[in-house]
Amino acid sequence: MKAYLMLGDPSRVEPVHLSDQLTRFWREWLDANRGMMTRDELISSADHLMSFYVAQYAKPGWPTIDNKVALVDDTRQSLRHVMRGMPAINRVYAEIKARAATRYPSISVASILGDQNDKILVGSYAIPGTFSREAWEGYVKGAIRDAANNELNATDWVLQTTQQTDLTLSGSPEQIQKQLESLYDKDYVHEWQKFLQGVSVASFGSFADAVNDMNTLGDPQNSPMRKLVETVYQETSWDNPSLVDQGLKSAQGGFVGWFKRVILRRQPRGVNLNLDNVKGPGGGKLRTGPVGSAFAGVAQLMVARNNNPPLLNNYLDMLAKLRTRLNAIKNQGDPGPGARQLMQKTLDGSGSELSSGLQLVDEQMLDGLDDRQRNTLRPLLLRPLMQTFNALVQPTETEINKIWTAQVYTPFEKNLAQKYPFDSNGQVQAADSEISQIFGPSGGIAKFASDTLGPLVDRRGDTLTAKQWADMGITLSPKLMAGFAQWVAPLGQTTGSGTQTIFKIQPEPGSGGISEYTININGQSLRYRNTPPDWKPFVWDGNQANPMAQISAVTYDGRTVMIENISGNDALKKLFLAAKGTLDKATGIYTLTWSKGPISVTAHLQLVSGAQTNGDGTQKQGLQGTVLPATVAGSGRADANAQPATEGAP
């Protein structure tokens, strides 16, 4: 209502409030209509456009709207009725929040980092200025004290009302002040948790981009991650004794203090304090308030303990080591071999800066935190690692394809492709000795699978599945997955790979208030977070032990909703039958939608292969008509015109 009136009367504009309201309600429309634009690009463009628009409000010709007088009058009547039915303490609290919002600017990732960020860190939520430390200390704290002790007279130009409220009639000033502060603390915690959950690292478009962005993130002193965490700590620790302790410790520091203690063996007067025994105003030990308790995990990162550096320093040192590793790979000229080696070590869980970083976060930085704090901080701390791993995928796939071409594809095309049984019209039959150089248990394909793919895939019998870290890994060609069992089988033997079904899934944005969803089929997962979609291949073998198919979604408030959970040999069939689907006969692509309540998940499905058959429907025999693919890794982005879509936490 207030923002609506401002849009019709520039003299009433309060830039902070108008920018916050327009951004909040416009973003929902933008999210629903952004098409193929990435969320990072959307947020950046919208913030720039909105900031420019609001900044021009005092200039002649600023675009305005014609307020509908009847609508305004009806809305005022309804809001007055609501306000009259609202408890007095809630009405006063709402007034305090509204006044604070007009005095203090909102807080966003862009406002915290400014030019230092260079769009590496992005945020999806801006906190109203009401919930900042500056607002608490400069206005809210005093306004609550005044409301608890005095009668308030308030004129509301939006509702065109004047109200007199005396809270002292409903209880003691101390009790009223405690109630108002409790309301404020609860909202303060909620706003900052929502802010942190919306912070992410912008996608590294390529390995070169990963190197450039990690050069910034991995700078121990000037990293935007340091500035962000320090700001969150300052904003959420005003009722946390750790900040008091830190100030006392700073009083003990400095060169002069060190000189007196170490060289002159003297303790400076007045600062020789035992911080463990610092007392609060009532004589008891300082206690952490509700805001400090909710963000104890942030304080844990920032406060040095037992003469050890803060954990945030260790974290940034880890990012610096990762930066050094990426630059070393870049300086090799061809990033493929180095990227493949780093991915291999990461998947093995040792010898990798990424796996060491994961261990640091889980075992030290988040140790002892409750689930809510872990779920808030863990994604933020792991996103630089996840984006780096994602940047390794493309050069690793390129390196795999180079090795495949040199060791398998080129020799096959040169020596076997024109011979029978690979070419049914071939005039010359390939000798077993020639075939065994490429095919069979000891052929080039088997060696390629063992030496090149082995560390990067899980092999169950003759079924290959790419290993994943943070729901990311290389993408194996559907043709490789469909033909591999036959290619490495003893010569002359026809495998039973006809029981396998190879298919591809391309996710679409979900609906019903979800931030992400996961499709899990026999341990092969696709986790989608509303990023540009890509095709992901799956292998289904109903004869595998404990086959299962699941679809789950995560709501904006962090709840996990299981949409489908099916097990058994016919789980895949039941999963598809549970969806509402349509078939595009021209492309052979199914569009399937699964729903549970208001939540819906949509994906496209394309069958790659079922049983290995000839054109007349008879079972193929051995290697008859075999054609090897030119590449065996990569998601076919040229066809899908998209980038990797998975993003999650290991």
* CA gap 145, 413 in Å, rounded: 84
Rounded to the nearest 10°, the torsion over CA 468, 396, 541, 459 is -80
Is the residue at 264 inside a domain? yes
Please say if the pLDDT value at position 451 is more than 90.
yes
Q: pLDDT averaged over the chain?
A: 81
- 452 occurs within a structural domain: yes
* Residue count (the chain): 650
| Calpha distance 530→509 (Å, rounded) | 5
CA 24 to chain centre: 20
Asked, for residue 192, whether it belongs to a domain, the answer is no
Please give the structure tokens belonging to residue 94. Answer: 């709402």
End-to-end CA distance of the chain: 44
Whether residue 360 is contained in a domain is answered as: no
Report residue 375 as tokens: 């779920």
Q: What share of the chain is helix, strand, coil (3-state, %, to 5)?
A: 50, 15, 35
Report the alpha-carbon distance of residue 488 to residue 301 in Å, rounded. Answer: 52
Alpha helices in 237-370 (DSSP H): 241-252, 255-258, 290-294, 296-302, 311-330, 335-348, 353-360
* 341-386 residue pLDDT tens: 999 999 998 889 999 999 999 999 998 888 888 888 998 999 999 9
Average pLDDT over residues 67-81: 83
Indicate if the pLDDT at residue 254 is higher than 80.
Answer: no
Q: Which residues 6+ apart lie within 8 Å of 141 measured at CB?
A: none
Domain-ending residue, one of 272, 287, 302: 287
Q: Does 421 sit behind a cis peptide bond, omega within 30 degrees of 0 on the bond before it?
A: yes
pLDDT tier at 167 (50, 70, 90 boundaries)? low
Last residue of a domain, one of 230, 258, 287: 287
Same domain, 571 and 422: yes
Residue 180's nearest CA partner among 261, 88, 271 is 88
- Pick from 74-88, 313-327, 417-431, 507-521 the range whose average pLDDT is largest: 313-327
Place of tokens 């261990």: 359
What number is the average pLDDT over the span 32-60? 77
pLDDT higher for 338 or 58? Answer: 338
Q: CB-based contacts of 276: which residues, under 8 Å, 6+ apart?
A: none
For residues 197 and 204, give the distance between their C-alpha atoms in angstroms, rounded to a whole number: 20
What is the crossing angle of helices 311-330 and 207-217, to 10°?
Answer: 150
Who wins on pLDDT, 302 or 610? 302
Provide the 10 A C-beta neighbour count for residue 331.
Answer: 10
Residue 431 falls inside a structural domain: yes
The conformation of residue 223, written as its DSSP 8-state character, comes to -
Residue 78: pLDDT over 70: yes
Mean pLDDT of 1-15: 83
pLDDT of 156 reads 66
Per-residue pLDDT tens over the stretch 91-112: 888 888 988 988 888 898 888 9
Q: Supply angle C-alpha 194, 199, 205, rounded to 5.
A: 150
Token digits for 335? Answer: 């990033």
Q: For residue 650, what pLDDT is reported?
A: 66
Domain containing 502: what range? 418-640
Ramachandran angles phi, psi of 202, nearest 5°: -60, 145
**Other CB atoms within 10 A of residue 380 CB:** 20
The dihedrals phi and psi of 636, each to the nearest 5 degrees, come to: 70, 45
DSSP H helices, 198-310, are 207-217, 224-236, 241-252, 255-258, 290-294, 296-302
Reading the block at residue 68, the tokens are 């509908």
Number of domains in the chain: 2
pLDDT for 286? 55
Question: Please, which residues have CB within 8 angstroms of residue 371's CB and are 6 or more apart in sequence?
Answer: none
Q: How far is CA 465 from CA 388, 460, 475, in A?
A: 22, 8, 9
Tell me whether residue 32 is in a domain: no
Amino acid at 145: R
Whole-number pLDDT of residue 162: 65
pLDDT tier at 557, thresholds 50, 70, 90: confident
Distances (CA, A) of 109 to 22, 31, 610: 17, 19, 49
Of 229, 254, 287, the one marking the end of a domain is: 287
The answer to whether residues 463 and 610 belong to one domain is: yes
For helices 353-360 and 311-330, give the axis angle rounded to 10 degrees: 170
Pick the most confident of 143-157, 284-298, 553-567, 608-622: 553-567
139 in a structural domain: no
More confident residue, 580 or 253: 580
User: Does residue 622 lie within any of the structural domains?
Assistant: yes
